[in-house]
Amino acid sequence: MPLSVWISSIVETFLKWRNAWRRASRGRRIPVCLARRIGPSLLGMLTLYGNAFSPFSRKVQLVLEYKGIEHEFVDGLTRANQNRLAGVNERLEVPAIDHDGLIVVNSADIVAYLERVFPEQPVYPKDDKTWVKARAWERCADSVIDPILVDISYWLWAIRPDQMPEGLLDAARIDLATIYDALERELHGREWVCSEFSIADIALFPHLSGTRTLQVPFDRSHHPHLYAWYKRCRAEPIFASDLARTQAYLARAPESDLEREKIFWRGDRIEWILARGYHEWFFKEIEEDRVLWPKVGTPAIT
């Protein structure tokens, strides 16, 4: 086939995809990418090392699905895949991606990378002020909400010799109430946290979807706008798929080879437990060898 004919064919196919996407997106609150899938044949193989219980991994997988990017998924937290995860992230943390040999770790960095390489279906607002707000809520989900919820979750899934320390659940409820109140104000008169659908909604959903199970729910009577936002999210296909994956994982978690006797601790999760006065409990965890620490990690060599 002559080069000019081949180029013309590619352009024609692209225009068909673009027009089909525009037709499919009309009237959607979230313009889910149904018109095409970005597969390995176009921009290389992409592998996500994650875990269906990790809110950070879930965030990245939601972005991949929203953008229509095909990918391989590897549960990096199982003992069977530990060496494979170590090959891309020496700290043994998820998520991490391997995009045709290029390694990216940390969920916020991965999302920024995906936005750079796959700019269609953007998750970051173009307006500077709205971009700042979206990033602020993503950071709040990652560094404020996550440590609270994770630190009170251990007695639900880990093999524990004790009960939750007295007052810890109440401390979580007090701190989360401040965040729920702020989100209630943000969502007044809006469908999405930043008016338009963005990374703020994607980052918050995995965390907030577990609050009822953890006994720290937001209440419909006190937070009607937040409650409506959550129901709106659950009605969208990408979030429905996310919940289905998480529920399926939790159903089989007792039979999985996930480490459940020792807890993996790092930065913000340590900060919250110490700031709430539970240093004696935490030091006892260290003394009784129930703690795992991240290893020293350096940028991957590709």
Same domain, 148 and 90: no
CB-side neighbour CA atoms (13 Å) of 25 = 16
Same domain, 179 and 224: yes
Same domain, 108 and 152: no
* 302 domain-assigned: no
Same domain, 104 and 36: yes
Same domain, 164 and 88: no
What does the pLDDT read at residue 255? 77
* 297 domain-assigned: no
Same domain, 56 and 168: no
Contact (CB, 8 A) for 66 and 92: no
Contact (CB, 8 A) for 152 and 275: no
Rounded CA separation 290/293 (Å): 10
* 123 domain-assigned: no
* 26 domain-assigned: yes
Closest CA to 141 of 215, 191, 210, 189: 210
Rounded CA separation 296/291 (Å): 16
Provide φ and ψ at 243, rounded to 5°. Answer: -65, -40
Same domain, 190 and 271: yes
Structurally, the chain folds into a number of domains equal to: 2
**Which of 117, 147, 168 is a domain's end point?**
117
Q: Mean pLDDT in runs of 10 for the chain (302 residues)?
A: 45 44 44 48 83 96 98 94 93 95 96 97 98 98 98 96 98 98 98 98 98 96 98 98 95 82 96 98 98 85 54
3-class DSSP state of 174: helix
**Which of 117, 149, 164 is a domain's end point?**
117
What does the pLDDT read at residue 295? 87
Domain that holds residue 162: 128-292
* 144 domain-assigned: yes
DSSP 237: H
**Which of 117, 152, 168 is a domain's end point?**
117
Same domain, 17 and 99: yes
Same domain, 263 and 135: yes
Same domain, 160 and 274: yes
* 53 domain-assigned: yes
Residue 234's domain is classified under what CATH number?
Answer: 1.20.1050.10
Rounded CA separation 129/234 (Å): 27
What does the pLDDT read at residue 37? 53
Residue 48's domain is classified under what CATH number?
Answer: 3.40.30.10
Contact (CB, 8 A) for 96 and 89: yes
Rounded CA separation 234/247 (Å): 14
* 285 domain-assigned: yes
Pair of tokens at residue 62: 């939601």
What does the pLDDT read at residue 7? 42
Provide φ and ψ at 75, rounded to 5°. Answer: -75, 100
Contact (CB, 8 A) for 193 and 204: yes
Same domain, 140 and 160: yes
3-class DSSP state of 262: coil
What does the pLDDT read at residue 36? 42
What does the pLDDT read at residue 30? 61
What does the pLDDT read at residue 15? 40
* 122 domain-assigned: no
| Prediction pTM value | 0.86
Task: Look up tokens 């391997």; give the residue.
Answer: 98
Provide φ and ψ at 101, rounded to 5°. Answer: 95, -10
Rounded CA separation 293/43 (Å): 35
Same domain, 75 and 185: no
3-class DSSP state of 125: coil
Contact (CB, 8 A) for 38 and 68: yes
